[in-house]
Structure 1
Amino acid sequence: MKKDISNRADVELLVNSFYNKVREDELISFFFSEIVAVDWEKHLPVMYDFWDNILFYAGKYEGNPMAKHRDIHQKCPMKMEHFQRWIHLFTETVDELFEGNTSELAKQRATSIATVMQIKMFS
């Protein structure tokens, strides 16, 4: 049995593992290397704060993910398949590492976030 996501260290493991997959993915990696040259040393701690806040209401995240993704969408339109791949990789990563209520919540929230972004970008 795997453990559930229960603390900041688990969030960091999830985020690091997920973005390792993203960086290697044939369909979406270019968003992070060609469209936006991501500074991973800065980006990853922001993502730790984001997911820590999403799952545990840590209150450390300050940002506007919709605005950032809208900027990227202006440079290179995101398509439905990009969002589907993101969700697939995220869900796969959660399932490989964890199981339990918070793990299910992480997958639900990721799907909700992607859905809202798609609605806002494609409408």
Structure 2
Amino acid sequence: MIPPLPQDVSEPLVERIVHDFYALIRQDAVLGPIFEERIGDGWDAHLATMVDFWSSLTLMSGRYGGKPHVAHFGLGLTMEHFEHWLVLFEGVVNAHCAGPAAALFIGRARRVADSLQIGLNIGDKALHLPGRAAVAVSVA
């Protein structure tokens, strides 16, 4: 049985968190350049996609149909990038909600980070499959 969603999780909350998080990302010295290089002038489309993604993860809306692993391939990401991403994301979530709602967003974000690291073959959770080594690039 799937536990019920926290009552205060809503589409407007998802949208506020996504927009505030990516506003922070764009200003971040570590992650901002990575996102800017990949997204360029496509921020409106990216934000819409991320709202769909987080709506699907938290509200089970089913609106996201992309391939996150493919979107993150070739960015030179390291475990440290994911740790930094999580710190920023958790800060934004905690500024917008608390209790079960915050736990839902943060739990999903940690699973996303784990899944991407496994899929990109980086970090402690990577399977370290032969021929799938990630290329680490320092952005600091």
Fold-level match, TM-score > 0.5?
Answer: yes
Deviation at 1:29, TM superposition (A): 0.5
Report the aligned-residue RMSD: 1.5
Residue correspondences, number? 116
Q: Distance in 1 between matches of 2:34 and 2:97?
A: 27
Runs of 5+ unmatched residues, structure 1:
none
Contact kept, 8 Å, 1:18 with 1:93, in 2: the verdict is: yes
* Matching residue of 2:42: 39
Question: Identity of aligned pairs, percent?
Answer: 31
User: What is the letter of the counterpart of residue 20 of structure 2?
Assistant: S
Contact kept, 8 Å, 1:14 with 1:93, in 2: the verdict is: yes
Matches within 5 A, 1:17-96: 17-37=20-40, 39-70=42-73, 74=74, 76-96=75-95
Contact kept, 8 Å, 1:32 with 1:38, in 2: the verdict is: no
More helix by share: 1
Deviation at 1:77, TM superposition (A): 0.9
Q: Distance in 1 between matches of 2:118 and 2:65?
A: 23
User: What do residues 21-71 of structure 1 show as CA deviations (whole Å, max 9, x unaligned)?
Assistant: 10000111111112442511101111111101100101111111111111x
TM-score by length of 1: 0.87
Q: Distance in 2 between matches of 1:5 and 1:22?
A: 25
Larger radius of gyration: 2
* Higher RCO (CA-CA < 8 Å; seq separation 6+): 1
TM-score by length of 2: 0.77
